[in-house]
A = this chain, B = another copy of it.
Amino acid sequence: MVRSGKPTIADVASLAGVSVSAVSKVVNGKSGISSSTRERVLAAAAKLRWTPSATAVALRAAKTRAVGMVLRRETNLLSTDPHFTLLIDGIERELAPRGYGLLLHIVGEEQLAEETAYRRLAEEGRVDGVLLTESRVGDTRFALLRDLGLPAVLVGTPWEDDPIPAVRAPHSDCGIHQAVEHLLRYGHRRIGYISGPEDRVHTHHRIRAVEEVLEEHGLGTAPSVTSGDFSPDGAVDAVREMLAHLRPTAILFANDSMAVAGLSTARRLGVEVPRDLSIIGHDDLPMSELVYPRLTTVRQDLVGLGRAAARVLLAALGEVDDGHVQVNPPELVIRESTGPAR
Instruction: Give chain A's interface residues, CB within 8 Å of chain B.
Output: 5-6, 49-56, 58-59, 62, 64, 66, 73, 76, 78-82, 84-86, 88-89, 92, 96, 99, 101-107, 117, 120, 123-126, 232, 257, 260-261, 263-264, 267-268, 285-287, 289-292, 294
Output the least CB separation between A150 and chain B (Å).
11
Instruction: Report the Cα distance A134→B217, complex, angstroms.
Output: 52
From B53, B86, B103, B125, A66 is in contact (CB under 8 Å) with B103
Question: Which residue of chain B is the closest to A89 with respect to CB atoms?
Answer: B106
From B78, B261, B289, A290 is in contact (CB under 8 Å) with B261
Q: Can you show 10 pairs from A to B with CB atoms below 8 A apart? A: A51-B120, A51-B124, A79-B89, A80-B286, A81-B82, A82-B82, A257-B287, A257-B290, A261-B290, A268-B292
Output the least CB separation between A270 and chain B (Å).
12
Q: Is the CB of A73 within 8 A of B89?
A: yes
Residue among A51, A117, A124 with the highest chain B CB neighbour number at 10 A? A124
Residue among A51, A126, A232, A287 with the highest chain B CB neighbour number at 10 A? A287
Query: What are the residues of chain B within 8 A of A66 when measuring CB–CB?
Result: 103
Output the least CB separation between A286 and chain B (Å).
4
Q: Is the CB of A102 within 8 A of B104?
A: yes
From B53, B56, B125, A53 is in contact (CB under 8 Å) with B125
Question: Which residue of chain B is the closest to A147 with respect to CB atoms?
Answer: B49
Instruction: Report the Cα distance A82→B268, complex, angstroms.
Output: 26
Q: Is the CB of A123 within 8 A of B51?
A: yes
Q: Considering the complex of A and B, which 8 residue pairs feature the smallest CB-CB distances, nearest first?
A: A264-B292, A54-B124, A51-B123, A80-B286, A92-B106, A55-B58, A267-B292, A79-B82
Output the least CB separation between A164 and chain B (Å).
21
